[in-house]
């Protein structure tokens, strides 16, 4: 890895948490220089502008979340157990996620929807990728006779994401994780009552 690549990665790693907690619009160049200890020239010598740093920070944050989801889904053998492991991940990881500012996809979604068109496509890609992972698990379960054939894998994947993201949002804003746990309970009910044969 070249020195330039190391510096670029250092900037991303040091600013990713700030973008996620403070917001992509509100994070300033002075926030970035304070976090990295680098000068404005050093930062803009590695990135064209602040928006490029914001995109890189979002990609870093969303990749970390994607890897957590992958670990949860790949920890089990059966499709049902994979979905339950996915839900269980949020029951144990919620505090760390809240402390890091909440879900990076949710946070970026709120900002990108109306104010940050340069980030919106990246967020849409993250959500589509997340839904695809869950859909593939449901299809796997259907192919192995675990899940109902008529269950729409894509629709259920998006409903699960909606419930979990809504639970994170309410839990974080109210400082009460029970909202997330209620949402997770509802996901489990969907799996048990509507998806499993």
Cα distances (Å, whole numbers) of residue 189 to 74, 94, 131, 196: 21, 20, 19, 10
Q: Mean pLDDT, to the nearest integer, of 151-160?
A: 98
What is the value of pTM for the model shown? 0.89
C-alpha closest to that of 164 among 99, 86, 109? 86
Q: Mean pLDDT, to the nearest integer, of 107-116?
A: 86
Q: What is the pLDDT of residues 8-35, one digit of tens each?
A: 999 999 999 999 999 998 999 999 999 9
How far apart, in whole angstroms, are the C-alpha atoms of residue 38 and residue 115? 28
pLDDT at 138 exceeding the cut of 90: yes
Residues 6+ apart with CB under 8 A from 181: 91, 167
Q: Where are the domains of the chain?
A: 58-195
Round the average pLDDT of the chain to a whole number and report it.
93
pLDDT at 162 exceeding the cut of 90: yes
- Under 8 Å between Cβ of 196 and 189: no
How far apart, in whole angstroms, are the C-alpha atoms of residue 102 and residue 25? 16
The conformational region for residue 81 under phi > 0 = left, psi -120 to 50 = alpha, else beta, is alpha
**What architecture is the 58-195 domain classified under in CATH?**
Orthogonal Bundle (1.10)
């Amino acid at each position: 890895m070249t020195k330039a690549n190391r510096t670029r990665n250092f900037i991303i790693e040091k600013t990713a948490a700030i973008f996620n907690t403070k917001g992509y619009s509100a994070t300033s160049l002075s926030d970035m220089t304070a976090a990295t200890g680098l000068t404005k020239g050093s930062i803009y010598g590695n990135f064209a502008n602040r928006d490029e740093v914001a995109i890189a920070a979002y990609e870093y944050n969303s990749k970390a979340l994607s890897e957590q989801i992958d670990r949860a889904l790949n920890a089990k053998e059966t499709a049902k157990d994979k979905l339950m492991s996915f839900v269980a991940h949020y029951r144990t990881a919620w505090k760390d996620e809240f402390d890091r500012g909440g879900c990076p996809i949710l946070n970026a979604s709120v900002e990108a929807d109306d104010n940050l068109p340069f980030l919106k496509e990246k967020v849409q890609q993250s959500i589509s990728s997340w839904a695809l992972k869950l859909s593939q698990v449901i299809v796997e379960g259907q192919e192995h006779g675990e899940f109902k054939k008529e269950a729409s894998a894509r629709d259920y994947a998006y409903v699960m994401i909606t419930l979990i993201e809504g639970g994170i949002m309410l839990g974080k804003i109210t400082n009460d994780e029970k909202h997330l746990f209620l949402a997770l309970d509802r996901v489990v009910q969907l799996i048990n009552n509507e998806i499993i044969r």
